Structure 1
């Protein structure tokens, strides 16, 4: 993270400089320059399954119920790696809905 930019105090609008001299245009141009932008993190590519598990973690989900297989199977790899979300295997899909 970059340090905050600092600059010398400026007289408020409508007031003359305290030393009685006119400010040069080069001083005002350098003062109005935009501060350097903070470093950004490059985007990270993740799979849809990883996005699902990350979303569950961010929402504070600790326990999910389900049956692995079919279209949901790719979610189980990142779910296995999760330290926060735990999976409970149920015997029937309708049982998972009532758990």
Structure 2
């Protein structure tokens, strides 16, 4: 009889421990689920941000290309203007003489 009572007490205590452990695990799982949801939202935001940054980068690159072409054209015009200025200076020198 005493053995059965002893085993019954042990089983009852074990049952209580298992129940408490189950409650803790359930809470942990809920927390992990919520954390997963938050991480998923964060990842979505980061993905969208990356898309925007990529698009901005493309625009900046295209703008840079246009500016480079414009600068080359302006440099060529400046060379022509300098050459014209030199010729005018030469013409003025000749005219003065």
Range of TM-score over shorter length: under 0.3
Bigger helix fraction: 2
TM-score, normalization: structure 1? 0.25
TM-score, normalization: structure 2? 0.25
Question: RCO greater where, 1 or 2, for CA within 8 Å and sep 6 or more?
Answer: 1
